[in-house]
């Protein structure tokens, strides 16, 4: 009898916990910015913005940006995104603070070397000035190619 009571109690707790998780995921999707994946092709790589989510954290507004890049150098040696490009994220013409440390952390995916034709993903977070003005992501290749700007409306 006690065993059945414990199983019933466990099942009830599990149901309540699962229903709370569904609520959280609904809230998370409400903060996602609906964008068509923006792609910027270059000679040695392709860079794509997959997803952006706006997060309120410690009285700060943060943009969490999911990037994808594909190495198509055609070389046998592995390349990292850092070796191919740098990124500038601006709002109102001012460079935003990157808060996840993906550029300063040598163990981040920004530094991970990948073989040609491989695709890599990384996530970076930037502190926004506000959540109404668009942000501009500038991809600056480390070749002779011109930079490319991708503007994202946050509303």
Give the domain ranges of the chain: 1-30, 36-152
Instruction: Select 36-152's CATH number: 3.40.50.300, 2.60.40.1240, 3.40.50.720, 2.70.50.60.
Output: 2.60.40.1240
* pLDDT value at residue 6: 40
* pLDDT value at residue 23: 36
Residue 91: HSE in the Cβ half-sphere, 13 Å Cα cutoff: 19
* pLDDT value at residue 2: 53
Q: Mind listing the pLDDT tens digit of every residue in the chain (155 residues)?
A: 555 544 444 444 444 444 443 333 334 445 677 666 678 999 999 999 998 999 988 889 999 999 999 998 887 778 888 889 999 999 999 999 998 887 777 777 778 888 888 898 989 999 999 888 999 999 999 999 999 999 988 87
Q: Which two tokens stand for residue 24?
A: 């959280």
pTM confidence score:
0.74
From residue 124, how far is each of 54, 86, 89, 110 by CA, in Å?
12, 13, 10, 10
* pLDDT value at residue 21: 36
Q: Compute the distance between CA of residue 70 and CA of residue 14 in angstroms, rounded to an integer.
A: 41
Q: Compute the distance between CA of residue 15 and CA of residue 113 in angstroms, rounded to an integer.
A: 43
* pLDDT value at residue 34: 64
């Amino acid at each position: 009898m006690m065993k059945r009571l414990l199983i019933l109690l466990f099942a009830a707790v599990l149901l309540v916990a699962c229903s709370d998780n569904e609520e959280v995921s609904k809230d998370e999707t409400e903060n996602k910015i609906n964008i068509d994946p923006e792609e910027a092709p270059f000679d040695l790589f392709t860079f794509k913005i997959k997803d952006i989510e706006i997060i309120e954290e410690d009285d700060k507004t943060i943009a969490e940006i999911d990037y994808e890049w594909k190495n198509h150098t055609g070389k046998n040696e592995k390349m990292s995104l850092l070796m191919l490009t740098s990124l500038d994220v601006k709002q109102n013409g001012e460079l935003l603070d990157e808060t996840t440390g993906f550029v300063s952390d040598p163990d981040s995916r920004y530094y991970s070397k990948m073989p040609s034709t491989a695709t890599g993903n990384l996530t970076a977070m930037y502190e926004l000035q506000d959540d109404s003005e668009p942000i501009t992501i500038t991809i600056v290749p480390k070749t002779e190619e011109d930079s490319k700007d991708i503007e994202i409306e946050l509303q």
